[in-house]
Amino acid sequence: MEVKTALIRDLESLLGKERVISHPTELLVYECDGLTLSRHGADAVVLPESTEEVSRIVKCCQGHQVPFLARGSGTGLSGGAVAAEGGVIVQMSRMATIIEIDYDDEVAVVQPGVINLHLSEATRPDGYHYAPDPSSQKACTIGGNVAENAGGPHTLKYGVTANHILGMTVVMPDGEIINMGGRHESILGYDLVGLFVGSEGTLGIVTEIIVKLTRNPESSKTFLASFNTVEAASNSVSSIIAAGIIPAALELIDALVIQAVESHLKAGFPQDVAAILLIEIEGLNATLSAQAGEIRNICHTHGATDFKEAKSEPERAQLWRGRKEAIGALGKVTPAFYTNDGVVPRSKLPEILEFDIETGKRNGLQVAHLCHAGDGNIHPIILYDHENETETKAAMKTSREILQRCIDLGGALSGEHGIGTEKLTSFSFMFNKTDEAQMMAVRSALSPSGKLNPSKIFPTGAKCGESKIRKTVAGGGWL
């Protein structure tokens, strides 16, 4: 207890009492991120306002030999932003400034607490946007996106977060401040930026980020294709890509999600179908009509019962609202849900989606789907009752079986949510002991004390997330 008291006292001397949260009641809201199955308490939460303050906080934590980690908006879905071994959460919400927008070089410099959507809102009037668009973009931070290498519907065409990060300022685990990358794409020596993006906050704390800005397209078209089977919708996805067409977005939504969306959002999704594809193409006006015709033909060839185009910007926005707020709508029709994240080759979409549903049935649960189908990135959403211990265990079992099947089909454990604490016990599905040792060697070289975001990613010596949820928690998170 004395160590903890001394820690709080030293943190308060660095930041002032108003920027150090240590009361047990106030700390409750930091016990989990979007993965409510993983709950761990921190000893303190601190609110820095500069890179230099983050450095001093890190040195303080190392001096007291306590764990520490960075946290953004807490929208993560793998338990990556929870204090798995206690210690200090470095809450980055006060570092939320867009420092610079440079249209000549087509870059922006931002602090990690900047909300993803806010950067596009700031640049869109001048003809630019920030391309990575997680469905939680109204709430998630760019720093968190960097940690998880987040994707989103439009990354089919534009790529994930890693494709849009040029440089960053990082506070290393010993408190040293370093700069890596720059305002250009040339990489000399080791690609440290690439190493840090997607490292789930285990190698350093990012305090400034140089991002690419993308020009707004001349024009776009958004389509809604309806199907009587999930298989028909899945096959259309593969055929569209095989035809040499790369839509800006190609999303699959199944009947369970459609029903929830229409019950609560009235997005205009048909309710008498098994699945829909939300398809968006962008580019020059002269090329879009031909692409639209080809996509329409492909969908009808695979049995589409309807294919319609959004006729106005409000109609398009409403369709995308239905997709991006779908997870919230599901929260209104089930006591809790467990959002999974796996990847398969596109050709295996029909097989994995059928497997998910049958696996859920075998375990007594329903499984809904929201998929970045063009990437083969599936988001099975396992519906269960968090007050029922049997159903909670069944949800976790269903998740593991789905992830194992993704690997068996030549896929991956995660497309954008990361490993965190959620997939520690599934890590060996994809990586052997040699793989783990090599990755741990890199982590140990950069963070020899092991105090930065411990018990994440690697199963060796790690603690699994708690399996029980407080009765007041309804479950959830954002895709």
- Residue 402 belongs to a domain with what CATH number? 3.30.70.2740
Confidence bin at 93 (pLDDT 50/70/90):
very high
Same domain, 300 and 321: yes
pLDDT at residue 265 is higher than 80: yes
Same domain, 193 and 211: yes
Same domain, 313 and 340: no
Same domain, 208 and 228: no
pLDDT of residue 38: 80
pLDDT of residue 187: 76
Strand order through the sheet with 68-71: 20-21, 44-46, 88-91, 68-71
In terms of residues, how long is the chain? 479
- Residue 290 belongs to a domain with what CATH number? 3.30.70.2190
Confidence bin at 464 (pLDDT 50/70/90):
very low
418 in any annotated domain? yes
pLDDT at residue 100 is higher than 90: yes
Same domain, 241 and 171: no
Least confident of 10-19, 139-148, 463-472: 463-472
- Residue 122 belongs to a domain with what CATH number? 3.30.465.10
Same domain, 338 and 310: no
437 in any annotated domain? yes
pLDDT of residue 377: 97
pLDDT at residue 61 is higher than 70: yes
Same domain, 298 and 339: no
Q: Structure pTM? A: 0.93
Domain boundary (91, 106, 137) is at 91
Residue 45's closest CA among 21, 66, 65? 21
Region 338-343 average pLDDT: 95
Domain boundary (279, 309, 329) is at 329
**Side chain identity at residue 218, one-letter code:** E
Same domain, 338 and 435: yes
Same domain, 82 and 106: no
- Residue 20 belongs to a domain with what CATH number? 3.30.43.10
Region 389-409 average pLDDT: 97
Same domain, 348 and 431: yes
Q: What is the pLDDT of residues 422-442, one digit of tens each?
A: 999 999 999 999 999 999 999
Confidence bin at 332 (pLDDT 50/70/90):
confident
pLDDT of residue 52: 98
476 in any annotated domain? no
pLDDT at residue 4 is higher than 80: no
Region 28-49 average pLDDT: 94
How much is the mean pLDDT over the chain? 93
Domain boundary (215, 240, 266) is at 215
3-state secondary structure the chain: CHHHHHHHHHHHHHHCHHHEECCHHHHHHHCCCCCCCCCCCCCEEECCCCHHHHHHHHHHHHHHCCCEEEECCCCCCCCCCCCECECEEEECCCCCCEEEEECCCCEEEECCCCEHHHHHHHHHHHCEECCCCCCCCCCCEHHHHHHHCCCCCCHHHHCCHHHHEEEEEEECCCCCEEEEECCCCCCCCCCHHHHHCCCCCCCCEEEEEEEECEECCCEEEEEEEEECCHHHHHHHHHHHHHCCCCCCEEEEEEHHHHHHHHHHCCCCCCCCCCEEEEEEEEECHHHHHHHHHHHHHHHHHCCCCEEEECCCHHHHHHHHHHHHCHHHHHCCCCCEEEECCEECCHHHHHHHHHHHHHHHHHCCCEEEEEEEHHHCEEEEEEEECCCCHHHHHHHHHHHHHHHHHHHHCCCECCCCCCCCCCCHHHHHHHCCHHHHHHHHHHHHHHCCCCCECCCCCCCCCCCCCCCCCCCCCCCCCCC
Same domain, 324 and 361: no
466 in any annotated domain? no
pLDDT of residue 37: 83
pLDDT at residue 469 is higher than 80: no
300 in any annotated domain? yes
Count the domains in the chain.
4
Same domain, 151 and 82: no
Instruction: For residue 244, give its domain range.
Output: 219-329
pLDDT of residue 3: 54
pLDDT at residue 477 is higher than 60: no
469 in any annotated domain? no
pLDDT of residue 196: 98
Residue 172's closest CA among 64, 59, 89, 80? 59
133 in any annotated domain? yes
470 in any annotated domain? no
Burial 389-410 (b: 16+ CB within 10 A, else e): eebbebbbebbebbbbbbbebe
Q: What is the pLDDT of residues 154-196, one digit of tens each?
A: 999 999 999 999 999 999 999 999 999 999 987 789 999 999 9
Confidence bin at 468 (pLDDT 50/70/90):
very low
pLDDT at residue 461 is higher than 60: no
Q: What is the pLDDT of residues 218-240, one digit of tens each?
A: 999 999 999 999 999 999 999 99
